[in-house]
Homo-oligomer: A and B are copies of this chain.
Amino acid sequence: MSVTQTSPQLVLHPDRLLPAEPEVRAIARRIHDAVQDLPIISPHGHVDPRLLLDDAPFPDPATLFITPDHYVTRLLHADGVGLDELGVGEGPLDEDRARAVWRRLCEHWHVYRGTPVRYWLEMELADIFGVTQRPSAASADVIYDQVAERLGQDAYRPRALYERFDISVLVTTDDPCDTLADHAALAADPAWSGRVIPAFRPDAYLEAGALGWPDAVRRLGEAADIDTGDFAGYVQALEERRRHFIAHGGRSADHSHPDVRTDPLEPAEAERIHAAALAGEATPEEAVAFRRNMLLEMARMSCDDGLVMTLHPGVRRDHHRPTAERFGRDVGCDIPIRVEFADALRPVLERYGTHPDFHLVAFTLDETVWSRELAPMAGFYPSVYVGVPWWFLDAPDAQRRFRDAVTETAGFSRTSGFVDDTRAFCSIPARHDLSRRIDSGVLARLVAEHRLSEEEAVDTAVDLVTTQPTRVFKL
């Protein structure tokens, strides 16, 4: 029995993800032709800048595709493969381990049917690594060997891939206390001509009720060289660190809390809770009130310093604490919760919603707010943009639902453009490809239903991957 017989071909169809109806597909194909080769703008993600600074070869296929990527490991875990079997949280894998992890993925390939993970991985394997067989128990070793062999070549090192992927800007997500030395070193490297810029992510410094917050505030003070022992200093230190990010090319500040309420506190009350929380004596309710007031403060700072404010709320992090305790954070057990924007954002929008320099991009994992809250807000406030589908919703049908839910109230011009939000560097082109194909199909249907001319549809598709993200994220 030959492997070729048992493992089906892996072929990327040129019309993949385009609508099935022939006339609509033909229109979609023409729209997609206009955008498929445009450079990639990545305004939000989790790639480590060291990856491009060091430009070291990727170690092995399992580490490249599986172990650090919760999008991939979670469905294997659900299908009975322990995270320990996948090497999660254990550091570098030797070849036997890496190959074993890779085999688990290939053996369980069926669990990804109908998911974007399959789409991304197949496109990465085929397009980047020239793999021609679909992953399966039978093809696992052959594919492993082929990918591993390529990973040893210079053409597969991160900088070469950055060029090949045609990325024009890549935004990372960074701790406010980060010196950004890696960003600076990369930018200063004469052999490097790309653009990798940081984003300010202060969540941990705003959650006054979290374990370790006093220590975080102390570190913040050290990084800013400002005494954060009182509220004013704490606020000034955040402002100072934002300036540091801006000096390193930063254009946005990202916020991910359970909710997005922005209720103001009286200054004295903020000062009081700040002190109590530093002493470990704030109640949970006080800590939440403090964070909500700080989110409003961050918007105020955005009006002052111009950083785009992006919101990624509504996730119960580490839903299964035993898993987080054993394997760490971001390993696949974060679960979305219901989220509310209309009342939550009212304080910030009444203050800053028509401020000329304020940009607020609202992402959600709760689809119900797209038509009910986000599109109506983005359709009135010049500062508000609806973030495209993110995380669990970064998928073909969810992206279609997004456009269906948002466009009629907010058009295309009030949406953010695509955000890949990934730490899996090699998945970036596949994720943008998926988004461009879906948007081409969405626009094609509008053309086929005589709601838009084809010329306008092409123009819109190009906007969505060029001027729109550049404008919204101030790139």
- A residues bordering B, Cβ < 8 Å? 8, 13, 15-24, 74-75, 77-80, 110-116, 118-119, 316, 319-323, 332-338, 340, 342-343, 346, 349-350, 353-354, 365-368, 371-373, 375-382, 384, 392-393, 395-398, 401, 403-405, 407-414, 445-446, 448-453, 455-456, 459-460
Q: Collect the chain B residues with CB atoms within 8 Å of residue A79's CB.
A: 382, 413
Min CB distance, A388 to chain B, in Å?
15
Q: Are A412 and B320 in contact (CB under 8 A)?
A: no
Q: A122: nearest residue on chain B (CB-CB)? A: B451
Asked whether A379 and B75 contact (CB < 8 A) given A110-B413, A114-B407, A413-B111, the answer is yes
Question: What separation, in Å, do the CA atoms of A372 and B340 have in the docked complex?
Answer: 13
| Most chain B beta-carbon neighbours within 10 Å: one of A18, A373, A379 | A379
How many copies make up the complex? Answer: 3
Q: Are A115 and B413 in contact (CB under 8 A)?
A: no
Q: Are B16 and A450 in contact (CB under 8 A)?
A: yes
> What are 23 A-B contacts with C-beta separation under 8 Å?
A18-B449, A20-B24, A22-B23, A77-B380, A79-B413, A110-B413, A114-B412, A114-B452, A316-B342, A319-B350, A320-B350, A320-B380, A320-B381, A322-B350, A334-B376, A335-B373, A335-B376, A338-B372, A371-B392, A376-B392, A392-B409, A395-B409, A397-B408
Q: A393: nearest residue on chain B (CB-CB)? A: B371
Q: Collect the chain B residues with CB atoms within 8 Å of residue A22's CB.
A: 23
Q: Collect the chain B residues with CB atoms within 8 Å of residue A80's CB.
A: 382
Question: What separation, in Å, do the CA atoms of A379 and B333 have in the docked complex?
Answer: 9
Q: A378: nearest residue on chain B (CB-CB)? A: B78
Q: Collect the chain B residues with CB atoms within 8 Å of residue A342's CB.
A: 316, 319, 335-337
Q: Collect the chain B residues with CB atoms within 8 Å of residue A111's CB.
A: 411, 413-414
Q: Are B337 and A343 in contact (CB under 8 A)?
A: yes
Q: Collect the chain B residues with CB atoms within 8 Å of residue A19's CB.
A: 449
Asked whether A78 and B350 contact (CB < 8 A) given A335-B377, A336-B342, the answer is no
Among candidates B319, B372, B376, residue contacting A349 with C-beta atoms closer than 8 Å: B319
Min CB distance, A236 to chain B, in Å?
28
Q: Collect the chain B residues with CB atoms within 8 Å of residue A413's CB.
A: 79, 110-111, 113
Min CB distance, A359 to chain B, in Å?
12
Question: What separation, in Å, do the CA atoms of A119 and B452 have in the docked complex?
Answer: 9
Q: Are A381 and B78 in contact (CB under 8 A)?
A: yes
Question: What separation, in Å, do the CA atoms of A353 and B396 have in the docked complex?
Answer: 29
Asked whether A372 and B376 contact (CB < 8 A) given A111-B413, A116-B408, the answer is no
Which 6 residue pairs are nearest across A and B when measured between Cβ atoms? A395-B408, A20-B448, A13-B450, A16-B450, A114-B407, A397-B404
Q: Collect the chain B residues with CB atoms within 8 Å of residue A445's CB.
A: 20
Q: Are A337 and B409 in contact (CB under 8 A)?
A: no
Among candidates B20, B110, B398, residue contacting A408 with C-beta atoms closer than 8 Å: B398
Min CB distance, A85 to chain B, in Å?
12
Q: A443: nearest residue on chain B (CB-CB)? A: B114
Min CB distance, A122 to chain B, in Å?
10
Question: What separation, in Å, do the CA atoms of A283 and B456 have in the docked complex?
Answer: 54
Q: Are B322 and A17 in contact (CB under 8 A)?
A: no
Q: Collect the chain B residues with CB atoms within 8 Å of residue A375's CB.
A: 392
Among candidates B323, B332, B407, residue contacting A115 with C-beta atoms closer than 8 Å: B407
Q: Are A340 and B343 in contact (CB under 8 A)?
A: no
Q: A368: nearest residue on chain B (CB-CB)? A: B368
Asked whether A113 and B452 contact (CB < 8 A) given A337-B373, A379-B74, A395-B409, the answer is yes
Min CB distance, A106 to chain B, in Å?
15
Min CB distance, A314 to chain B, in Å?
8
Q: Are B20 and A115 in contact (CB under 8 A)?
A: no
Question: What separation, in Å, do the CA atoms of A72 and B79 have in the docked complex?
Answer: 39
Q: Are B75 and A411 in contact (CB under 8 A)?
A: yes
Q: Collect the chain B residues with CB atoms within 8 Å of residue A395's CB.
A: 408-409
Q: Collect the chain B residues with CB atoms within 8 Å of residue A381's CB.
A: 78, 320, 333
Q: Are A78 and B380 in contact (CB under 8 A)?
A: yes
Question: What separation, in Å, do the CA atoms of A407 and B366 have in the docked complex?
Answer: 16
Q: A346: nearest residue on chain B (CB-CB)? A: B319
Q: A336-B372, A392-B408 are in contact. List 18 more A-B contacts (CB 8 A).
A: A19-B449, A20-B23, A20-B24, A20-B448, A74-B380, A78-B382, A113-B446, A316-B346, A319-B377, A320-B349, A321-B350, A322-B354, A333-B381, A337-B372, A338-B372, A371-B393, A396-B408, A397-B405
Q: Collect the chain B residues with CB atoms within 8 Å of residue A452's CB.
A: 113-114
Q: Collect the chain B residues with CB atoms within 8 Å of residue A401's CB.
A: 404
